[in-house]
Amino acid sequence: MTQLMRSWVSSANSDQTPFPLNNLPYGVFSTKGSAPRCGVAIGDMILDMQAAEEAGLVELDEDGAFDLPFWNDVMELGPDVWATLRARLTEMLAEGSTDQAAIEPLLVPQSAVDMHMPILVAEYTDFYAGKHHAMNVGTMFRGPENALPPNWLHIPIGYNGRASSVVVSGTDIVRPNGQTKAPEAELPSFGPCKRLDIELEMGAIVGSSSQLGQPVSVAEADAMIFGYVLLNDWSARDIQAWEYQPLGPFQAKAFATSISPWIVTKPALEPFRASTPEREKELLPYLRESGPMLYDIDLHVTMAPAGGAETVIARTNYNQMYYSAAQQLAHHASSGCAMTAGDLLGSGTISGPTPTERGSLLELTWGGKEPMTLDTGETRTFIEDGDTLTLHGAAMGDGYQIGFGTCTGTILPAKTFPA
């Protein structure tokens, strides 16, 4: 296992920081009175990349790559530039660097910033690629003998979501309105969602584009991925239950998807590669992996009622997925669908084999039939107004961790329609 890389930024050398020199995740931040701009997290500080470029400390193939407040321009320069940039950042921030005096004035305390969306999301696709989640949900609705759809063990199932609804961690989420129908009701009704849920996911950010009509291999897809974020695909279960046949989720998923503010790049995660599980059905050649494509990333979810302490409600790991992001991307492009720098792929809900590893309230409370008790003494089946849900994640190394920051959102009451 890779050891901690030491930095002259002292806070980066703690085993408690999510942002050691081994990590160097990418985000967008602003300070009071300043416009948003790209930054790199190191310990409890952020390196201002626009200022570093202007000072001549960082030079990329394209001048002004950090002029705009998102990482898309850097992504579009390609993997060779990504590698060059990471090497230069590591050189500047490493213990003993001759650049320390020039870099120190460009560091901003994380405690003094607001975080923003790290990319302009081009397109958003969400998958249904965790077997434990699919088995749990399928068992609830169809019974254990028909839990998985016939295609599930052969392809990573997905649907196209709304890029316009992807928001950064810390953005409040308004409870959606929608049309629902109770089983005993003759007609549907319209109003606020009553079964609001989360989905604990990882998001893969596509950094390289592909051509329309041109498929890509799993290995090529892996090389196209710029990095990963935590992702919460908020879900209105009652709205979904009425609308999803025959075309799948629509309004039940369109109202919000939250992501963590820091993009953790593939090189930072390289020591934590993990294999997908043994296949129950052999995959077709275009989906077969050339090596480990998942990652060993510990994940947990907390819930805090308004004014109350948070409770850990689930713990699991990204290595529980049945399909990797590279397989999902390869399948997405297999029809000739053009992939674009800035595309976001949601992994699907990440659940493990035990009840405490379930990545949604739908599973944790078994469809609302088994309420859970929070540390405050309150009970929940689904999310109530004022509740704050937070996703946490880190890959645990030898004396260090590779963290993502948190992915959090607080639920606000539904909007009322004008009379």
**Structural domain boundaries in the chain:** 10-116, 124-412
Q: Which of 406, 312, 325, 419 is nearest to 364 (CA)?
A: 312
332 catalytic residue (yes or no):
no
Q: What angle do CA 138, 142, 147 make, to 5 degrees?
A: 40
Q: Which of 356, 331, 306, 350 is nearest to 201 (CA)?
A: 350
Structure tokens at 43: 């310990």
Report the run of H or E that residue 255 belongs to, with start and end. none
Q: Which of 87, 53, 170, 118 is nearest to 344 (CA)?
A: 118
Cα 208–chain centre separation: 18
Three-state secondary-structure class, residue 227: strand
Catalytic residue among 132, 133, 331, 332: 133
Q: Which residues, including other chains, have CB under 8 Å from residue 141's CB and lie 6 or more apart? A: none
Structure tokens at 52: 């570093």
Three-state secondary-structure class, residue 23: coil
Q: Do domains 10-116 and 124-412 have the same CATH topology?
A: no
10-116 sits in which CATH class?
mainly beta
Identify whether the C-beta of residue 180 lies closer than 8 Å to the C-beta of residue 238.
Answer: yes
How far apart are alpha carbons 236 and 242 in whole angstroms? 11
Q: Which residues, including other chains, have CB under 8 Å from residue 382's CB and lie 6 or more apart? A: 194, 195, 196, 197, 237, 361, 365, 368
Q: Left if phi > 0, otherwise alpha if psi is -120 to 50, otherwise beta: which for 418?
A: beta
Mean pLDDT in consecutive groups of 10 residues from the start of the chain, 419 residues: 92 97 98 95 98 95 90 96 97 98 98 98 97 96 91 96 97 97 92 97 97 97 98 97 90 96 98 96 96 97 97 98 98 97 98 97 97 97 98 97 98 89
Identify whether the C-beta of residue 324 lies closer than 8 Å to the C-beta of residue 293.
Answer: yes
Q: How confident is the model at residue 419, as a pLDDT?
A: 64
Please, what's the largest Cα pairwise distance for the chain? 74
The fold for domain 124-412 equals Fumarylacetoacetate hydrolase; domain 2 (3.90.850)
φ and ψ at residue 173, rounded to 5 degrees: -115, 120
Q: How confident is the model at residue 253, as a pLDDT?
A: 96
How far apart are alpha carbons 271 and 395 in whole angstroms? 9
| pTM, 2 dp | 0.96
Report the run of H or E that residue 326 belongs to, with start and end. helix 325-333
Beta strand 45-48 with 107-109 is: antiparallel
Structure tokens at 291: 């090596």
Three-state secondary-structure class, residue 338: coil
How far apart are alpha carbons 310 and 308 in whole angstroms? 7
Cβ-based neighbour number of residue 55 at 10 Å: 14
Three-state secondary-structure class, residue 21: coil
CA distances from 295 to 28, 113, 137, 413 (A): 25, 30, 24, 37
Place of tokens 């947990």: 300
How far apart are alpha carbons 17 and 19 in whole angstroms? 5
How far apart are alpha carbons 276 and 324 in whole angstroms? 7
Structure tokens at 18: 């999510």
Structure tokens at 385: 């107004």
Cβ-based neighbour number of residue 171 at 10 Å: 15
